[in-house]
Amino acid sequence: MIATAAAPSLDELVDGVQAGNRAVLARAITLVESRKVEHRALAVRLMQRILPFTGKAMRVGITGVPGVGKSTTIDALGTHLLEQGHRVAVLAVDPSSSRTGGSILGDKTRMARLSMDERAFVRPSPASGTLGGVASKTRETLLLCEAAGYDVIIIETVGVGQSETAVADMTDTFLVLMLPGAGDELQGIKKGVLELADIVAVNKADGDNIHRARAAAAEYRAALHVLGSREDHWSPPVLTYSGLTGDGVDALWVQVVQHRAASLNAGAFEGRRQRQQVRWMWTLLDDRLRDRIRSDARLRARVPAIEREVGEGRLDPALAASEIAALLAL
């Protein structure tokens, strides 16, 4: 990548990110998201250079079914944090256009207050079919935002597939949003989501919904009691709030802060982040191997035939995997 006005040098990118220049930060994120081979080497060097300036932000993951009000909640919570003097970055993994692969960018319009505030940085990223609806470079984007001085990083998922696990594996506190009127809906909630939750919050506790929200919260507390806590030092609280009016949003943040303090006091915080780093390494390795299969002409020519043989029952999947592994080693 040639250092021109159109393409900043590595030093310019590092200096601009550290200075909190939003335009340079956006270009740095575009670089790490690029699939072009010529950009990858520079992106790797950039991430290595900014690594010492990362790790200090509060990383919060937010998930929930479509319609639960994730973007409205983040807009209200982010505005509250800005008023407290924080700098907030929101990584909103946007559903991708099935035709172009581009981001629909709906989240930026739904976070009207945050996206207009210079102290906040909202970055919609296309999921582009990535497993779980989490953009493939979300973690690198998170680190770049930390290096740029944002002290609260919020990652919003599309709330489908395995996104919950993916986001829980890169954040310190995982917040699961629920709707009022649990009732029979409670039976349909994925057990795995509640098991991952550090905090459960029932949204839309306003107007005629307040009593329904409180009843739902009681049912979720009962469900969590049956499941038990995944951490010895923390029992996930269940709160009610309104993303629309902002009522209860401050209490929601208090629980995030308390969860972080409990993790630090128990000596679990660093261990969680270290495990996340190692898991991310293996995720990246898996991505690199898949890229190798797609880019290597010899592998690209053989793999479809192997897939057909496996599908037709003429080749054992274990033998097929061994053959592909042998081809990768050549």
Average pLDDT per consecutive 10 residues, the chain (330 residues; last block may be shorter): 64 96 94 84 93 95 86 94 96 55 48 87 68 64 96 84 76 92 53 83 92 90 82 92 94 97 94 89 82 83 92 93 85
Tell me what pLDDT residue 95 has: 52
Contact 71, 159 (CB under 8 A): no
Domain ranges of the chain: 1-53, 54-266, 276-329
pTM, entire model = 0.84
DSSP 138-184: HHHHHHHHHHTT-SEEEEE--S-TTHHHHHHTT-SEEEEEE-S--TT
Residue 82 main-chain phi, psi, to 5 deg: -60, -40
Domains 1-53 and 276-329 agree in fold: no
Tell me what pLDDT residue 291 has: 79
Tell me what pLDDT residue 159 has: 61
Does the domain at 54-266 match CATH 2.70.98.40? Answer given as no
Structure-block tokens of residue 119: 């102290």
Residue 103 has what DSSP assignment?
B
Distance CA 183, CA 86 (A): 38
Tally helices (H) and strands (E) across the chain.
15, 7
DSSP 3-40: -SSSS--HHHHHHHHHTT-HHHHHHHHHHHH---HHHH
Contact 80, 120 (CB under 8 A): no
Q: Is 226 helix (H, G, I), strand (E, B) or coil?
A: helix
Which fold does the domain 1-53 belong to in CATH? 1.20.5
Which helix (DSSP H) or strand (DSSP E) does residue 120 occupy? strand 120-126
Distance CA 290, CA 3 (A): 30
Contact 137, 43 (CB under 8 A): no
For the structural domain made of 276-329, what CATH number should be given? 1.10.287
Tell me what pLDDT residue 1 has: 44
Distance CA 229, CA 259 (A): 13
In whole angstroms, what separates CA 65 from the centre of its chain?
Answer: 15
Contact 176, 167 (CB under 8 A): no
Tell me what pLDDT residue 166 has: 79
Q: Which residues contact 140 (CB under 8 A, 6 or more apart)?
A: 29, 32, 43, 47
DSSP 38-60: HHHHHHHHHHHHHGGG-S-SEEE
Whose structure tokens read 């699961």? 176
Distance CA 68, CA 248 (A): 16
Residue 238 main-chain phi, psi, to 5 deg: -120, 120
Tell me what pLDDT residue 160 has: 53
Residue 238 has what DSSP assignment?
E
Side chain identity at 277, as an amino acid letter? Q
Distance CA 141, CA 47 (A): 10
